[in-house]
Structure 1
Amino acid sequence: MNQAAETLEPTRLQKAVEAIAITPEAATMLVDGYRATFKSKFEREPESLEDKRRIAAKIIGRYSKLSAAVGAVTAVPSVIPGFGTAVAVLGGGAADLAAALKLQIDMCMCLVEVYESELSSEDKKHLAFVLALAGSAEQMAANGGRAAVQKIAQKLVYQYLRGPALISIKQLFKRVSITFTQKAMAKAIPAGVGVAFSGSSNYVLTTVVGKVAVAVLAKDVT
């Protein structure tokens, strides 16, 4: 196997998450539902940046609530379709991480559809993975306040978006996995990652990941 092929070989975590993550096409169907609701309520298409922010807020709220439900182990099979696939590939604890990442990636896939609907399905997928993984990776490693973490996470997203997509995604999966493992070994697992943690922490983590994604997609750079 040549070096390029080795570089692109996905990790077990990446394989598990990709197996259970939503498709761009499914995300389009979900977002179309939000667009239809918006049109029915306001009697116009959601075209302005503020309109898109309204829809994005609904999406972030939905996935944050789902993530909170994942805080209870017994809720996982109903909240995460295909969770058994992650368990089969990864085993217990790492499958919890895959479940948390799956919801964040699904959320970002929908947010990409809101802001960048003209992209190809493959580009939507790459963008959603980078947004979700970079946001989670920075929060898992950070010790600062939420606002500071959001700023750093945005910079991390831009950093990885400048690189080759497939390599960037693999690097981010590796970064998330290493950070999670280090925290677990130190008995200081970051709040909000996986079903072993509280629903409130899961809610906060997913909400912040969503806000970072919206800031990037809306070009809200400060």
Structure 2
Amino acid sequence: MNQAVDEIDPTRLQKAVEAIAITPEAAAELVGGYRATFKAKFEREPESLEDKRRIAAKIIGRYSKLSAAGGAVTALPSVVPGVGTAVAVLGGGLADVAITLKLQIDMCMCLVELYEADLSNEDKKHLTFVLALAGSAEQMVMKGGKPVVQKIAQKLVYQYLKGPALITIKQLFKKAAITFTQKSMAKAFPLGIGVAFSGSTNYVLTTVVGKVAVAILAKDVK
């Protein structure tokens, strides 16, 4: 059922991910729940950057755990909505890649809602896809320790945000399709989602993508 490493069609992957990614409305509802929990605990609205960082950490933790939930996330349709659609459209191996990207996009959509709630839904989508795709693809081709990778990824994502949104997103899906399926990556991470990743690798990758997104949304890029 798994598709060969070198057969991913970026356009097909993009359509599948866009079809199963969270909507801005659903993200707003989810973040609203986190805000309500914060208010009940601290008896105030989460307005400061520090308050938002607390909620962001909860969001990142949730999606990092989902991303690491199993070696084949396609076995968890009840946990991750959209799995059935991804499998039907892409098949098992590619569906795993699509679900990994979906979880990172869902996480970033929630973070965008937390920090940039006043944006239009279309702008939220564009910002979300650039944050998730660029943050993930860039750090995977870099060498070095996590703090160094994270800092470089922040600056690269910021550069992507300056480009035309739709063209940039199309280019990033192409880059992600290549990066997620390179044979060198398959050799580096032999135990995991599709042909490339292990649960622990997905956890770390999603966590760093989330931290990169928060740094940019909180205007904390140095």
The verdict on a shared fold, with TM-score over 0.5 as the criterion, is yes
Q: Which residue of 1 aligns with 2:5?
A: none
Judging changes above 3 Å, is the alpha-carbon distance between structure 1 residues 65 and 162 closer, same or farther for their aligned structure 2 residues?
A: same
Conserved? CA contact 2:141–2:179, under 8 Å: yes
Conserved? CA contact 2:28–2:110, under 8 Å: yes
Judging changes above 3 Å, is the alpha-carbon distance between structure 1 residues 192 and 130 closer, same or farther for their aligned structure 2 residues?
A: farther
Quick one: distance in 2 between partners of 1:132 and 1:190? 20
Q: Runs of 4 or more off by more than 6 Å in structure 1?
A: none
**Shift, 1:217, TM fit:** 0.3
- In structure 2, stretches of 5+ residues that fail to align are 1-9
Q: Kindly provide the amino acid, as one letter, of the partner of residue 174 in structure 1.
A: K
Q: Which residue of 2 aligns with 1:36?
A: 36
Aligned length: 212
Quick one: distance in 1 between partners of 2:173 and 2:98? 10
Conserved? CA contact 2:27–2:110, under 8 Å: yes
Conserved? CA contact 1:86–1:98, under 8 Å: yes
Judging changes above 3 Å, is the alpha-carbon distance between structure 1 residues 117 and 33 closer, same or farther for their aligned structure 2 residues?
A: same
Quick one: distance in 1 between partners of 2:73 and 2:58? 25
1:19-168 matches, cutoff 5 A? 19-73=19-73, 75-168=75-168
Quick one: distance in 2 between partners of 1:21 and 1:76? 16
Quick one: distance in 1 between partners of 2:56 and 2:148? 22
1:195-206 matches, cutoff 5 A? 197-206=197-206
Quick one: distance in 2 between partners of 1:36 and 1:18? 29
Conserved? CA contact 2:74–2:92, under 8 Å: no
**Shift, 1:177, TM fit:** 0.4
Question: Over the residues paired in the alignment, what is the CA RMSD in angstroms?
Answer: 1.9
**Shift, 1:193, TM fit:** 7.0
State the TM-score, normalized to the length of structure 1: 0.89
- In structure 1, stretches of 5+ residues that fail to align are 1-9
State the TM-score, normalized to the length of structure 2: 0.89
